Amino acid sequence: MDSFVGRLDPDMCVVTAVAGGERAGCLVGFASQCSIRPVRFVVWLSELNHTFRVARNAEVLAVHLLDREQRGLAELFGGQTGDRTDKFQGLRSREAYGGAVVLEDVPAWFVGRIVTRAGGGDHIGFVLDPVEWGGHEAYDGPLLRLSDAHTIAPGHPVD
């Protein structure tokens, strides 16, 4: 299976969540559209990380695509844990639909209402109904992919 999975190179995204007065965000490599009609998108969050603990009480999540030059942002959200770090300090962000936190300096983002959750091993899939979206429509450069981020050590151990 490693030889198959090793050929995949998905876009990376940052997922943010807000619940109970707490905000969180993490770098995600497991995400995809999962329905055509209605449009649905699923993001898989590790049960071990801070973002999962906030997201399980959230009503919406925000999903952000990064451009290839935003490795520093990927390192912040992927290599630090919200248990010890305020990842949003100093970043340009704003409140969107349902109180979601949207990062302003990314090529594209959407906010999705959580419609269901699904187990899947050590990650939980949050199925989202997109309700608001935006970004820099003129951006047409390369997005950050797994191959660009594979050397980022996770803020929480995988096992």
SS (H, E, C) 19-68: ECCEEEEEEECCEEEEECCCCEEEEEEECCCHHHHHHCCCCEEEEEECEC
pTM above 0.85, yes or no: yes
pLDDT tens per residue across span 28-84: 999 999 999 999 999 999 999 999 999 999 999 999 999 999 999 999 999 998 888
The domain spans of the chain are 2-30+49-109+136-149
Which class is domain 2-30+49-109+136-149?
mainly beta
Mean pLDDT of the chain: 92
User: Does position 138 have pLDDT exceeding 80, yes or no?
Assistant: no
Given pLDDT bands bounded at 50, 70 and 90, which one contains residue 159?
Answer: low
Give the whole-number percent of the chain exceeding pLDDT 70: 97
Nearest C-alpha neighbor of 11 from the set 149, 151, 143: 143
User: Does position 111 have pLDDT exceeding 80, yes or no?
Assistant: yes
pLDDT tens per residue across span 82-92: 888 899 999 99
